[in-house]
Amino acid sequence: MASYLLRRLLVTFPTLLGVSVLVFLSLHLAPGDPALVMLGPKATATSLEALRTELGLDRPLHVQYLRWIGGVVSGDWGRSIQLRAGVLPLVWERFQATLILAVVAMIVAVGIGIALGVASAVVAGSLLDRTAITTTLIGYSLPPFFLGIVLQVVLGLRMGWFPVTGMYPAGGGDFGDLLTHLVLPAVTLAAGIGALLARMTRATMLEVLRQDYVRTAQAKGLTRRVVVLQHAFRNALIPILTIVGLQTGYVLGGAVLVEQVFSWPGIGTLAINAILARDFPLVQGVTLMVAGTYVFTNLLTDVAYTLVDPRISYQ
Amino acid sequence: MKQRRRFLILLAAMAAGAWAFAQPGSQIVIGLQAEPVTLDVAQLSDYNSSRTAMPMFEGLVRFADGSTDVEPALAERWDVSDDGLVYTFYLRPGVTFHDGTPVNAEAVEFSFERQTDPAHPYHDTGTFPYAEFTLGNIASIEVVDDLTVRLTLRENFAPFLSNLGMHAAALVSPTAVMASGADFSENPVGAGPYRFVSWRRGVEVVLERNPDYWRVTPQVERLIYRPIVEDQARLAALEAGEVDLAVNLPPDDLPRLRSDARFTFAEQAGMHTWYVVFNVTKEPFDDARVRQAVAYAIDRQAIVDAVLGGTGVLAKNFLPPVVWGYTEDVPEYPYDPERARELLAEAGYPDGFEVEFWVPASGSGMQQPVAMGTVIQDYLSRVGIEATIQQFEWGTYLDRVIVPLDSADTVPAMFQMSWIGDNGDPDNFLYILLSGDQFPPFGFNLGFYANPEVDAILREARTTSDHDARVTLYEEAQRLIMADMPVVPVDHETQIVIHRTGIEGFVPHPTGVFRFEKVEVSAP
Amino acid sequence: MSAGPRALRGAPGPVGPSGGGAGIPGGEPGAPVDGAPAPRGRRAFWRAILGEPVAAVSFVILAVFVLAALLAPWLGLPDPVRGSLIDRLQPPLTPGHLLGTDEFGRDLLSRVVWGARVSLAVGFAAVGIAVVIGVTLGLVSGYLGGRFDFWTQRVVDMLMAFPYILLALMIVAILGPGLMNTMLAISIAGVPYYVRIARSSALTLRKREFVEAAEAAGAGPVRILLRHVLSNSLSPIVVAATLDVGWMIMAAAGMSFLGLGAQPPQAEWGVMLSNGRQFLRVAPWVSLVPGTMIFLVVLTLNLLGDRLRDLLDPRMVGR
């Protein structure tokens, strides 16, 4: 187990390294001179030359990459052109907000999705099942930005039940404030993933329920509850975990849109502004942070497998 | 007595612990359009930054409430030499910056030279977009004594005193700049009615009142600025009570808010012009007839009524009516597509032409740029001019349209721009925006319009001291400009600030900054 | 950003500790078409799809959208990019404007129909590009194996380390905003997904008798890939692609929503929804109409995709 984890961890590094190369190249693949992009058309030849030297753009590409990655490792992620501040503090502060939103949305999605999927599979073909299927299909087909807008107006403004923007009341607030501010964005973000999870769970459960050992267990006279939860669900868990792990990436991505709708001070709003302003150091920082998280989550998912099903580690 | 009461308030606040909610009536939450870029008063160039930063700073003089008349501020009084070249300012004694250091003549010298002198040891603590415009005419600064400073100008310049009321002429604490360096923009220290508390990126900027402010003791204890980029989200936040005061709400929602007793409107005719710039160095807009045709082709009144929902007034002239020297005795351009087609035919474009039209996604003073651009595009297509809209983010946009003459071919034939007056002087519109001396990077004549006759008048007007003579000169300039039509002025925006009823005494300032030192609030 | 989660239904995903191949139940690559109980013949196939009422209704709705989009210029609709400011923000059922008008007085029905042209075209084209590139790389990679396979998979690993939308955003950052660039970005971001599907198919099929027989008979690799491997991997690819079209439409609309996609005055559903937001309180239909259209198309595509999967890949239990 330990050696598997170690091996898995070792495999992560090349991926991260590759990711960093891609992120780095994104700046250098962009049409035009990065220095010109930074200075704009007002640039003079001298200021361009000075900036190129300052940024090390006159060096060979691999030297530039090593310098940048060296900076990244030692905590110097460069300076945002537009916001005139260090990239790492900017990204880190916003990232925490996104993480809170993503984790809560994921918990909501997993909880509701799996419960609905299991329940639906158990009563397959019934009215409840069909209602659940329809609901999840709708949830899955609704563009999240559209759902967010509707929730904001109906539940936030018409009903006045939840705050509609931001993460805390102005001036800061406590944990309770955070929770109420989380409701609408988290539900918006969770809807699609929850629906997908419900569908996957249902399909997997149906598959498992058809297996011989489940039939055997039922034949042995175990209660349906025990059969479903202890035998079937346990075995359905691995594919479900897979989906959960994969969707984490989409939660992080989907957060961008939801943040925009609810003015959530996360990394998404930061990313959009950085891209629109062609603030490349910041774009690099944001993408690196998110991709790193994604790789790390995949690692966690794999570890979770080994816990659920020890056989996997021997592959 | 006053001291003691302050002490009691402090005690009470400490006792309350979580004072954010202990006294909800003593704070105002402001919904900004975007995150401030900098809080360094010398580096400001956008509304979101200046609205947040300006309450922390003050200069030698300032604009009076609700007007651009100059009144004493950190300088009690001043003398001007007969030739208009030497200004001597006498500072108010006993005033300190928020860090406790004194406001003195050296601070004036430091604040100005930091911006204008490339050899100044703290010149590298920022970029100063308004330095040249505001302070460029100062030849020398002389510290006479601790509280007396003498400024000598290069040439007689009529609007100089008005310039000193602008943000770039506000005083910063030299001690704080030396301590923070480039990070001064995140740790601003001035001598204004409010002082800096915290800035959480993307979340909020918090200011608290300066109990030692010399003019009054501000009533509202805290100001919290929250960036809410989406107009609808800002509106939602205002309606949900999450912000107390907001600007730039969707025009179509205003009638509904107006009839809602929970909200109060504070309005101010704008020192603002929204216009379409022609790149006159390129075909087809090198021909005045084509430019006039565009003016005739666009139903500007309909844009003001429908798209802007009456949040602006039709621009009959480039200069806004609130600026002195304004005249309506200029060539008029009513909506007349027939006339537009005739002019196009005369100019050799009977079938119209295709043209690129740049539009920012948003931007300070740009109102509804995409919607307005789309309508203009539509009107133009009706006379055969097919405009292709290209959208940019504001920062990128400015970078691309503010270019020197030798890069004029990179600027499209048509693009949108707006100007918000800085000091209430006609020079601040006509000379900077339309004089042949003011091509970028020196000024903001972005379309490279140059008419020698206009240039001569504008130059004479800015060095003439006699007010009536200046009025006559500017009236003549306006007539010539509107005949040449180097830009199509569309509207002058009315500043509409909507706040919670219960906030008393908020008066929008023509320059667009917010002032809170005389504002009082009652519980929501 | 855009859009919801991307399903991995009917296709093996990049799952499992080995980073690929572990597959979810029933996600094994499609069996040879001959071996599957899929109905034979085109007519039988269609009859099977449309035999189910939900799928039939979905098909009809989708067909209406596609037809309307194709025939837009001949439907006698008002100009989609020109309106009269006097008629702005008219509610639905206003005479002459069945679905009402937008903030410029442009007819919403017309804009929705013309928008369908853009949104559907972008959705299908983006999937098409992703499928062609991804499947080619995946088949070759799986069939050849060796060093080519190794490096292709490492690149795919890296691309997959980016959340889909972030990857699309990065590509737009490089190419610049705009509808074409957005379409390219979302299709490039979709490529790794198809590489994985096609590769797993090729890996399994490579060992099958009929492929080995063809090799023994002296068939060249291109012929084997096209005739034997590709034709037998089609089912999972077709299912995945169908489900993906809706997703791509949503992604493109999301990019436009953020101002990175289509530019005014073009009628595109994402842009319409985004602009309509400004009038949500006074004229909700301006955003509800395009929002509903996106929803309907994605929903019908999902329903059809599900039905297709049930038919082509029956071991993946769907609905």
DSSP characters for C241-290? HHHHHHHHHHHHHHHHHTTSS--TTS--HHHHHHHHGGGTTT-THHHHHH
Question: Integer distance in angstroms from the first to the last C-alpha of chain A?
Answer: 11
- Residue B26 DSSP code: G
Residue A76, domain member (yes or no): no
What is the predicted pLDDT for the residue at B514? 93
Closest Cβ opposite residue A315 in set C17, C169, C170: C17
What is the predicted pLDDT for the residue at A175? 86
Closest Cβ opposite residue B239 in set A157, A170, A265: A157
Percent of chain A with pLDDT over 90: 9
Percent of chain B with pLDDT over 70: 95
Q: Is residue A260 predicted with pLDDT exceeding 50?
A: yes
Mean pLDDT of C159-182: 78
Compare all CA atoms of chain B with the CA of C278 and give the residue at the minimum distance.
Answer: B232
> A–C: how many Cβ contacts below 8 A?
205
Residue A56, domain member (yes or no): no
Question: Using an 8 Å Cβ cutoff, are B371 and C104 in contact?
Answer: yes
What is the predicted pLDDT for the residue at C19? 30
What is the predicted pLDDT for the residue at B491? 96
Question: Using an 8 Å Cβ cutoff, are C179 and C262 in contact?
Answer: yes
What number of CA atoms fall less than 13 Å from residue B396's CA on the CB side? 20
The CA distance from C11 to C25, in Å, is 10
Q: Is residue B2 predicted with pLDDT exceeding 60?
A: no
The CA distance from B151 to B81, in Å, is 11
Q: b/e string for B143-179 if b means 16 or more Cβ within 10 A?
A: eeeebbbbbebeeebbbbbbbbbbbbbbbbbbbbbee
Residue A286, domain member (yes or no): yes
Reported confidence tier of residue A27, pLDDT bands at 50, 70, 90: low
Residues 6+ apart with CB under 8 A from C140: C148, C202, C225
What is the span of the domain harbouring residue A119? 87-308
Q: Is residue A158 predicted with pLDDT exceeding 70?
A: yes
Q: Nearest CA of chain C to the CA of A188: how many Å? A: 10
pLDDT, tens only, B304-314: 988 888 889 99
pLDDT, tens only, A94-131: 899 999 999 999 999 999 998 998 888 888 888 888 88
The CA distance from B515 to B149, in Å, is 27
Closest Cβ opposite residue B27 in set A40, A157, A171: A171
Tokens 């439907």 map to which residue?
Answer: C75
Q: Is residue A310 predicted with pLDDT exceeding 90?
A: no
What is the predicted pLDDT for the residue at B219? 92
Structure tokens that stand for B379 in this block: 């009107």
Q: Nearest CA of chain B to the CA of A95: how many Å? A: 11
What is the predicted pLDDT for the residue at C40? 60
Q: State whether the Cα torsion A251-A252-A253-A259 is positive or negative.
A: positive
What is the predicted pLDDT for the residue at A65? 84
Q: Nearest CA of chain B to the CA of C282: how many Å? A: 7
The CA distance from C260 to C182, in Å, is 7
Q: Do A166 and B226 touch (CB under 8 A)?
A: yes
Q: Do C277 and B230 touch (CB under 8 A)?
A: yes
Question: Using an 8 Å Cβ cutoff, are A193 and A105 in contact?
Answer: yes
The CA distance from B33 to B35, in Å, is 7
Residues of B in contact with A85 (CB under 8 A): 186, 201
Residue A59, domain member (yes or no): no
Q: Is residue B95 predicted with pLDDT exceeding 80?
A: yes
Q: Do B371 and C263 touch (CB under 8 A)?
A: no
Q: Chain A within 8 Å of B423 (Cβ-Cβ)?
A: no
Higher pLDDT, C279 or C45: C279
Question: Using an 8 Å Cβ cutoff, are A40 and B400 in contact?
Answer: yes
Reported confidence tier of residue A57, pLDDT bands at 50, 70, 90: confident
Mean pLDDT of B175-199: 94
What is the predicted pLDDT for the residue at B451? 95
Question: Integer distance in angstroms from the first to the last C-alpha of chain C?
Answer: 27
Coil, strand or helix at B27: strand
Task: Give residues 286 to 345 of B whose Cβ lies within 8 Å of C.
Answer: 299, 302-303, 305-307
How many domains does the structure of chain A reveal?
A: 1
Higher pLDDT, B129 or B431: B431
pTM of the model: 0.78
Question: Integer distance in angstroms from the first to the last C-alpha of chain B?
Answer: 29
Task: Give residues 25 to 44 of C whose Cβ lies within 8 Å of B.
Answer: none
Q: What are phi and psi of B268, to 5 degrees?
A: -155, 125
Closest Cβ opposite residue C264 in set B230, B303, B370: B370
Question: Using an 8 Å Cβ cutoff, are B312 and B493 in contact?
Answer: yes
Higher pLDDT, C183 or A237: C183
What is the predicted pLDDT for the residue at C7? 41
The CA distance from C218 to B444, in Å, is 74
Q: Is residue A9 predicted with pLDDT exceeding 50?
A: yes
Q: Do C282 and B361 touch (CB under 8 A)?
A: no
Higher pLDDT, C156 or B144: B144
Q: Do A256 and C1 touch (CB under 8 A)?
A: yes
Q: Do B381 and C82 touch (CB under 8 A)?
A: yes
Cα A216 from chain centroid (whole Å): 40
Q: Chain C within 8 Å of A277 (Cβ-Cβ)?
A: no
Q: Do A83 and B35 touch (CB under 8 A)?
A: yes
Q: Is residue B489 predicted with pLDDT exceeding 60?
A: yes
pLDDT, tens only, B57-87: 999 999 999 888 899 999 999 999 988 899 9
pLDDT, tens only, B322-332: 899 999 999 99
**By C-alpha distance, which of A73, A72, A62, A75 is closest to A28?**
A62
Task: Give residues 86 to 125 of C whose Cβ lies within 8 Å of B.
Answer: 86, 88-89, 103-104
Amino acid found at A256: V
Residues of A in contact with C4 (CB under 8 A): 140-144, 191-193, 195-196, 250, 254
Reported confidence tier of residue B400, pLDDT bands at 50, 70, 90: confident
Structure tokens that stand for A294 in this block: 């994604």
Angle between helices C108-144 and C146-160 (to 10 degrees): 140
Coil, strand or helix at B33: coil
The CA distance from B513 to B97, in Å, is 21
DSSP assignment of C164-182, as one string?
A: HHHHHHHHHHHH-SSHHHH
Residue A173, domain member (yes or no): yes
Domains in chain C with CATH codes: 42-316 (1.10.3720.10)
Q: Chain A within 8 Å of B28 (Cβ-Cβ)?
A: no
Q: Chain A within 8 Å of B20 (Cβ-Cβ)?
A: yes
**Of B33, B229, B230, B232, which to mutate for an interface test with C (greatest number of C Cβ within 10 Å)?**
B232
The CA distance from A93 to B200, in Å, is 9
Neighbours of B (≥3 Cβ pairs closer than 8 A)? A, C
The CA distance from A146 to A126, in Å, is 31
**Of A6, A27, A134, A145, which to mutate for an interface test with C (greatest number of C Cβ within 10 Å)?**
A145
Q: Nearest CA of chain B to the CA of A142: how many Å? A: 20
**Pairing status of strand B385-392 against strand B503-504:** unpaired
Mean pLDDT of B112-129: 89
What is the predicted pLDDT for the residue at A37? 56
Cα B265 from chain centroid (whole Å): 20
Residues of C in contact with B308 (CB under 8 A): none
Mean pLDDT of C70-76: 87
Q: Do B395 and A277 touch (CB under 8 A)?
A: yes
Q: Chain B within 8 Å of A165 (Cβ-Cβ)?
A: yes
Reported confidence tier of residue B336, pLDDT bands at 50, 70, 90: very high
Structure tokens that stand for C205 in this block: 């099929």
Mean pLDDT of A159-179: 83
The CA distance from B103 to B174, in Å, is 10
The CA distance from B235 to B31, in Å, is 9
Residue A133, domain member (yes or no): yes
Residues 6+ apart with CB under 8 A from C19: A11, C153, C157
Higher pLDDT, B293 or C314: B293
Q: Nearest CA of chain A to the CA of B34: how many Å? A: 10
The CA distance from A267 to A102, in Å, is 11
What is the predicted pLDDT for the residue at B339? 96
Q: Is residue A311 predicted with pLDDT exceeding 80?
A: no
CA distances from B29 to B32, B242, C31 (A): 10, 8, 63
Q: Is residue B342 predicted with pLDDT exceeding 90?
A: yes
CATH number at residue A207: 1.10.3720.10
Q: Nearest CA of chain A to the CA of B256: how many Å? A: 14
Residue A49, domain member (yes or no): no
The CA distance from B44 to B46, in Å, is 6
What is the predicted pLDDT for the residue at B503? 93
Mean pLDDT of B461-486: 93
Mean pLDDT of C133-150: 88
Q: Do C4 and A144 touch (CB under 8 A)?
A: yes
pLDDT, tens only, B97-110: 999 999 999 999 99
Q: What does pLDDT average to over chain B?
A: 89
Question: Using an 8 Å Cβ cutoff, are A96 and A269 in contact?
Answer: no
Residue A169, domain member (yes or no): yes
Tallying the residues shown for chain C, one arrives at 319
Q: Nearest CA of chain B to the CA of A237: how many Å? A: 39
Tokens 């001396």 map to which residue?
Answer: B437
ipTM: 0.76
Q: Is residue C8 predicted with pLDDT exceeding 70?
A: no
